Amino acid sequence: MSLTPSNKTRFNLLADIPTLLLLKSFDDTFKMRPSRTNTSTMKIYLSTLLTIFLFTNLSGQANLSEDFESYNDGDMITIASDDWKIWTGGTDTPVTSERAASGKKSLKLVGGKKTDVYFPFNKRFTAGSLQFSMDLFIPEGSNGYFSFQGVEQVGIVWSMQCYLDNNSFFRMVDDTQVQLQNMYPQDQWFNISVDVNFESHLWRFYIDGECVGSYIQENETRQSIASLALYPEGEKALFYVDNIVLNHVGKAKAMNMAYDASISGVVDPNRSLGHNSLSNFVGLNGEERNFGCRVTNMGEKKIKNFELTLQTATETSSQKFNIDLSIGADTMVVLEKGLVLDGEQSATISITKINGKEDENTCNNSFPIQLKGYDLHPDKKVWVEEATGTWCGWCPRGDVYMNYLSEKYPDHFVGIAVHQNDPMELPTWMGTVGGRGRSKKPQPSSGLGNYIQGFPSAVIERTETMDPLELELAFLEHVSQAPQATISHSARWDEKSRELELTITTKSLSSISDEVKLIVGLTEDKVHGEGNTWAQSNYYSGGARGQMSGYELKPSKIPGDEMVYNHVAKMLVTDFGGEELEFNGSKNESIVVKTFTQKIPKDWNIENMHIVSGITIGSEVVHNANKSSIADALK
């Protein structure tokens, strides 16, 4: 259980070894990287560590610690301990003996179960210095998340959020601003630690004792720490936590560095949208990616020039920038050298010189980059359903990214915007929101709401749910895969009766023995209306939440007659889970033709409508899809 500063401070040598190491590395006088899974290595360090503990001033002892060893396997943490709490609306999480960094137990957090717990520190820290560390294990392909809450009541101030993505990158986020990004190891225990100097507003971050980045916290509201929150965000979330240690010292000297510059972000300056801000540059093979680097002056002296170096496995190039950068200011500079996408690549951009001198704080000088190029499979089209609504202030983001992908990949992207609680809602397609959170396996017939827990959400081929801004990477992963079957459309339209006859032809490209189902629907572009329920809420108004393809220039409530809604789901012709097709499983190529007749309401514009279809093979996953304008299908 956790131990309060007043009367329960405990020193557990193995649990606190990382803290001893890190506290010394914070002072840049002692650096070691013991493996958290190698106990023999730990023993080698033991005598040295005892000497450090006994004879070195560590500027304070452990105020709080938690190693989970006092609980039983399977104990729900907030029931077994009064020191852990459940976030309002969340659920508990168990202690497990499945794995541990040291000892036999850890805390397990799994996504999709509304798990949301936090560990109060029994005090709000705003001065002096604070060192926090914990061990994490994130299986390959999974993701994790934790945050520091800035006041005793959670949900008011997020001092810092750490998103540990499933691609081995993590992001430290301050409100909506990414302050730093770097890499962490998956499928093994690692130690992540934070050193906060409240006097200098300096936050430094370490992975296994190596500094991976730092930033200056300029917002006084977030210049505080009161609790640790653990939240397995999304269906892919799975992580284990062990050996939580917090040390606080009431007084600390301000750290003054004459020359200190940081790279706080790298983007492609030629791309305003797409997967462009997570150190992970993706696109089609043969496309060039350029690098815009945001450099911040964190030192005590003015910067007149600095040098950036781009290094790959095969080449290194450097460029000098003569820019006056005052104290605390930042600038975006673009490297002349770019890289052409060609499969998987990695690179690092580093600050190598400031005013011709070495940077006094190398912790924040390097920025790792991963690049990956894909090929579009000619027969593959990707089915994407977006959950949205006019009442949702963040949903302009979904509109922007759905339009972006539709315009960039018109022959491969099948987008459907499914609205809820507005004039465009389609209950047969949406169903009940939040069902997947209550069930380990979604029921295909229950609607899109079974796959989501919030708005906006994008569901790709009914395999995973994500924020729309993450769509391009997932899309490219899916669109490069060869399908087992293709779909084509034709149509007949009777203007007088407004009857639309749809003919959907599914052709197998190989022998299929599993059950195949066909999903068919109609969407409409350029939809608009008048009245308050048609008005789009817009949290990007004013630009405080960053740019969003022009939405930052629009009012917080965009009148309905000024909005244009695209990809709107208008009709689900089959069941949500689809209608069964009978294939001849013994043939490599077989064709099944289905015909549907629907009456189109008079206020639907047939010229702006599309036929969308998808097939599932042996599961609820949409294996392949197609989209045709009705005008094209009539030809």
- pLDDT, residue 279, reads 53
Of the candidates 244, 241, 243, 239, the residue with the CA atom closest to the CA atom of residue 110 = 239
C-alpha span between 568 and 493 (Å, rounded): 20
Work out the pLDDT band at 615, boundaries 50, 70, 90.
very high
- pLDDT, residue 19, reads 33
Count helices and strands (H / E) in the chain: 8, 39
- pLDDT, residue 272, reads 64
The whole model's pTM is what?
Answer: 0.73
- Most trustworthy range by pLDDT among 16-25, 405-414, 428-437, 446-455: 405-414
Whether the per-residue pLDDT at 56 is higher than 90: the answer is: no
pLDDT digits (tens, 9 = 90+) for 354-379: 999 888 888 888 888 889 999 999 99
Mean pLDDT in residue range 293-316 = 92
* DSSP per position, 92-113: --BEESS--SSSS-EEEEETTS
Mean pLDDT in residue range 412-441 = 80
CA 118 to centroid of chain Cα atoms: 20
| H or E element, residue 46 | helix 39-55
Residue that wins the pLDDT comparison between 58 and 313: 313
| Environment class of 344 (CB within 10 Å of its CB; exposed 0-12, middle 13-18, buried 19+) | exposed
Question: Picking from 139-153, 460-474, 567-581, 601-615, which range would have the lowest pLDDT averaged per residue?
Answer: 460-474
Whether the per-residue pLDDT at 30 is higher than 60: the answer is: no
CB 34 within 8 A of CB 40: no
Residue that wins the pLDDT comparison between 598 and 31: 598
Q: Which residue has the tokens 């994407």?
A: 384
- The CA-CA-CA angle for residues 332, 337, 340, to 5°, reads 115
* DSSP code for 227: E
Q: Which residue has the tokens 């203007």?
A: 495
- What 3 state SS string does 7-33 have? CCCCCCHHHHHHHHHHHHHHCCCCCCC
Mean pLDDT of the chain: 85
- pLDDT, residue 284, reads 95
- pLDDT, residue 84, reads 98
| H or E element, residue 406 | helix 396-408
pLDDT digits (tens, 9 = 90+) for 240-299: 999 999 999 988 777 778 888 988 778 888 766 654 444 568 899 999 999 999 898 988
pLDDT digits (tens, 9 = 90+) for 63-96: 899 999 999 999 999 999 999 999 999 999 999 9
- pLDDT, residue 62, reads 47
- pLDDT, residue 362, reads 84
C-alpha span between 142 and 175 (Å, rounded): 23
Question: Picking from 254-268, 297-311, 396-410, which range would have the lowest pLDDT averaged per residue?
Answer: 254-268
Whether the per-residue pLDDT at 49 is higher than 50: the answer is: no
Mean pLDDT in residue range 378-383 = 98
Phi, psi of 464 (to 5 degrees): -150, 155
| Helix-strand-coil split of the chain, %, nearest 5 | 15, 40, 45
Work out the pLDDT band at 47, boundaries 50, 70, 90.
very low
pLDDT digits (tens, 9 = 90+) for 520-543: 999 999 999 999 999 999 999 998
Mean pLDDT in residue range 146-156 = 95
303-336 in b/e form (b: 16+ CB < 10 A) is: beebebbbbeeeeeeeeebeeebeeeeeeeebbe
Question: Picking from 272-276, 417-421, 590-594, which range would have the lowest pLDDT averaged per residue?
Answer: 272-276
| Environment class of 599 (CB within 10 Å of its CB; exposed 0-12, middle 13-18, buried 19+) | exposed
C-alpha span between 398 and 331 (Å, rounded): 29
